[in-house]
Amino acid sequence: MVKNKKLLKIAALVLSVVAASIIILSVWISRDNYVPQKLGNSVSAGINNRADKDGYSVAETQRYLFYIDKTTGEYPLVRIDKKTGEKKLLITEAADDASGCLFIYKNSIIYTKAKRLRYSWGEYDVYSCDFNGKNEKLIKKKCGMPHMVIDDYLYYANGNGSVSRVSLISGSTRYVSSQPCYRFVGINGRSNECYFDTDLFYIVEVELNNRGINTFLIRQSKKMHADEWSGEAKNSYGILGVYNGVIWFFGDHGKSICKAEKKNGKWLTKVVVNMSEGIHFNDNAILEKDKIYYVSSDESKIIMYDINTGNKKEIYGKSGAHIKVDAAIGDNILIEKWMTDKSRDDAMHEGDIDYCYINKSGKLLYNLG
């Protein structure tokens, strides 16, 4: 009997220690004040670069523009010196026909390799090199398709669509979200949430709590649908991006631009550019910081919408042309242009598309191909 009482006391003591430890750990994790800040590329460039389509991948620093030509099947990584205009081949094969991810991290460029590796679709070796194409280093072998570099981490897709990250400092890997995530669409900017979409209809909010992630405690991610929020927007059809805590998305089956802002714990929506312009925005619009760029209904003009002022301005036009906006980085925009009545696919197959890099005033900076 005495022995049983002692065992019960020991068990009670152990349980109390475990409970206290769990409480202390939970409080410590909840007080994590990490707020994601620095991205390795713009959101629209990240989406464009990893897209399963022909075209160009781009990344940019103050001095250099980097691009990968995905139109020829060779996938060269090229650097343009913005001061001199000089072009320099850095890496001969830096992508494949499914993706051409590019990210800037400190003084290096991050890219993928898959050609001749016989990996499954969407698997890559991820490398970095300096801005001269030297000091190549393996970051992760046989990695899922990268989403984005955020601060000191590369976020990438797992085989089931969930998200993991690898530290660019230590090389350690951690699971981040068990929810299927298709594309990275932005960070909150005010708190530790980042956002992914899963298809044209759902968005996943993921809490990047470093303490929780590093102790293998995955924070609960939340799957949301814009049509479940209160407000004007109806029939959501794709996510445009996130700016300053506000989610921008397409409504009316892609024919309007809407926003959702969280107030008192609830998301409220508003239609910002309505259906009257007769544009399928989801096919030809991108967001970069406080600007939205979209193409007119006849595809011959680029309009810039200023989020802060609500003003719209035509910044580029070409009579008789078809134009597509692919990505924007800072004040510069990657566009496609073809001067025929052919579809984009037909123009692509016949080599009739020009890839141009312009600024937000419509000035041509570089003809990439």
Q: How far are the Cα atoms of 18, 111, 165, 235, 329 from residue 105, in angstroms, in the given order? A: 41, 11, 15, 38, 15
Q: What pLDDT sits at residue 119?
A: 76
Q: In the predicted model, what is the mean pLDDT of the chain?
A: 87
- Measured CA to CA, the distance from residue 20 to residue 11 in angstroms comes to 14
Per residue in 233-268, pLDDT (tens digit) is 999 999 999 999 999 999 999 999 999 999 988 999
- Identity at 233, one-letter amino acid code: A
pLDDT at 25 exceeding the cut of 60: no
- Measured CA to CA, the distance from residue 305 to residue 312 in angstroms comes to 5
Q: What is the pTM of this model?
A: 0.88
User: What are the phi and psi torsion angles at 45 (to 5°)?
Assistant: -70, -40
Per residue in 259-313, pLDDT (tens digit) is 999 998 899 999 999 998 899 898 899 999 999 999 999 999 999 999 999 999 9
Confidence label for 31 from pLDDT (cuts 50, 70 and 90): very low
Decide if 286 contacts 58 (C-beta within 8 A): no
Domain 35-171: CATH architecture, name and number where available = 6 Propeller (2.120)
Sheet with 108-113: list strands edge to edge.
102-105, 108-113, 123-130, 137-144
The closest of 120, 134, 218 to 174, measured between CA atoms, is 218
